[in-house]
Each structure stands twice: as structure tokens, then as C-alpha cells.
Amino acid sequence: MNSQPQRELGEVLLKAENVNLSFGGVKALNDVNFDIRKGEIRAIIGPNGAGKSSMINVINGFYHPQAGSITFKGVKRTSMKPHQAARQGIARTFQNIALFKGMSTLDNIMTGRLLKIRSGLLSQAIYWGKYQREEVEHREYVERIIDFLEIQSIRKTPVGRLPYGLQKRVELGRALAAQPDLLLLDEPMAGMNLEEKEDMSRFVIDTNDTFGTTIALIEHDIGVVMDLSDRVLVLDYGRQLADGLPDEVRNNQEVIDAYLGVSHD
């Protein structure tokens, strides 16, 4: 469906070099090398336990690799905390939805603006002066996201009452509210039916298109990945199996073996 001609890729936004991560004796990531370029949709795929979520967690500073480095926007770092990653412009969604269930859609997305608020505590507490103006601006940005994700009808609904597919959408909204340079999506389509998947794919493409956001996503559904992404990284048992254009990856024998299984005799 989306067989657009291959796009020009921008400069390198994030570079992972020889990343190694292990939990005790288990090697979750083994010498992984790849980059994410500005403006692209980058997929990370692999069978269960391949190290995909670990890779995302390394990027946003939740895990610290034992060896290797991450260079983001030209700055090299070995260890970093998640809130620092957020400050640098990395936002994410979670495999298991992590929203504030009792708060409305609007308020949940507003929390994504937290890091953009510049006025002080006092001004916020008395809702006066600078903060008042600021909140109007933030609200406007959030409304733009609500409009974009077509969730006007649930603006004031507590998130806990929403069906799964919509909660995923709200979570994407919250990540977008941070106006990230790099958006990490951890299985955005897991557990969705076909229609919800199609909707979500549309939103991922439109996000990339409208906001110019660079996106790295983990996904199980190979069909979706091949349609959506510019480049695909394949992991298997922490090892980097392949890295390239969707078509190259699709025809890579090692990838086929990893997915379909191969007899070891």
C-alpha cells in the first residue's frame, strides 16, 4: 500500500556503537551497531526475547550498557537517566500502557507538556501572569494533537474507561505532546485488531509526515513493519542479524531462518 519511492535520509540522529548489555549471565544485547537518521521510520524487529525492548530501554537511558556507547545529536554518552533522555528530546510509549488511569485524556496528554513549562512553581500555584499565558499555549498544542489523533469525543473521559486501542492512541498523544526529536514506540500495535492496526499505522505515518518526527518502533507484525518503515534492524538472541531496507531484510536468509525456524542437524 505504501510503496513510496525510497526517501532521502537525513543526517544521523542517533548512533549505537558496539552496545553490550547483559543481565547476569544472559546477554541481552551483543555488539549491536546501528544508527537512526533524521526523519526516518526505523523498525526494530526480532523473535521473542531478541533484545528489542532492551535496545529501546538503552536508548532512553533506562538500562545502561556494560560496553559501547550511544551518540545522540552528536553527544556521546555511556550512561544517562530517563529524565535526561526526555529533556534531550526522546519520548516513548510502552508495551504495557502506562497512563494515569484516573485522569482524563486531556490531562494525560497535558502531562506530556511538563518539560516544556518554563514558569515557576509560584506562578503555577496561583495560576497568574506568565503561567496562565503559558498554559493557554500548551493547551492549544494539546488540542492540536487531540485533533490529529481524532480523539475529540473522549477529551474529558477518564482514560481507565477507554478501550485498549484508544488508550494506545492517548499514549501516543502524550509522547507527541513532548515534541520529541526521537519517538520510541514499543509495540504500538500489540493486541490490536486489524482495523485498529490500520488506524495506528496511519497515525504513525502521519506523525512522521506532519510533525517530521523521527520514529523508532518495535513491532511483531512483519507485514506492518515492511509497509511502514524506511529501514529495518533485525535482532535475534541479542545479536544483530541484519540491517537494511525492508526488501533486503525480507530476502535475507538468516532472517527467514530466525523467524521460521531451521533444523539444526
Q: Which residues bind other proteins (CB under 8 A)?
A: 4, 139-140, 143-144, 146-148, 150, 152-153, 155, 202, 205-206, 209-210
Provide the minimum distance between the beta carbon of 163 and other proteins in the complex, in angstroms, as a whole number: 13
Nearest to 205 by CA among 173, 232, 184, 229: 229
CA distance 58 to 52: 10
Q: Least distance to other proteins from the beta carbon of 227, Å?
A: 15
Between 141 and 259, CB nearer to other proteins: 141
Residue 202 C-beta: closest distance to other proteins, Å? 8
What is the C-alpha separation between 96 and 66, in angstroms, rounded? 26
- CA distances in angstroms from 110 to 68, 100, 104, 211, listed in the order given: 36, 11, 10, 18
Classify residue 162 by its DSSP letter: S
- C-alpha cell, 19: 552496545
> Nearest approach, Cβ of 168 to other proteins (angstroms)?
17
User: Which region holds residue 94: left if phi is over 0, alpha if psi is between -120 and 50, else beta?
Assistant: beta
Nearer to other proteins, 106 or 242 (CB): 106
SS3 of residue 17 by DSSP: strand
| Angle subtended by helix axes 130-148 and 194-210, to nearest 10 | 130
The full 3-state SS of 56-108, as one line of letters, equals HHHHCCCCCCCEEEEEECCEEECCCCHHHHHHHCEEEECCCCCCCCCCEHHHH
Calpha distance 190→193 (Å, rounded): 9
CB of 154 to other proteins, least distance (A): 8
Which lies closer to other proteins via its Cβ, residue 125 or residue 194? 194
* Choice between 11 and 150, CB closer to other proteins: 150
Nearer to other proteins, 11 or 147 (CB): 147
Minimum distance of other proteins from residue 224's CB (angstroms): 17
Q: Which H or E run includes 21? A: strand 12-23
Nearer to other proteins, 208 or 240 (CB): 208
Q: Which three cell numbers stand for residue 70?
A: 550511544
Backbone φ and ψ for 85, nearest 5 degrees, come out as -60, -45
Shortest spacing between CB 4 and other proteins, in angstroms: 7
Q: Which is nearer to other proteins, 101 or 202 (CB)?
A: 202
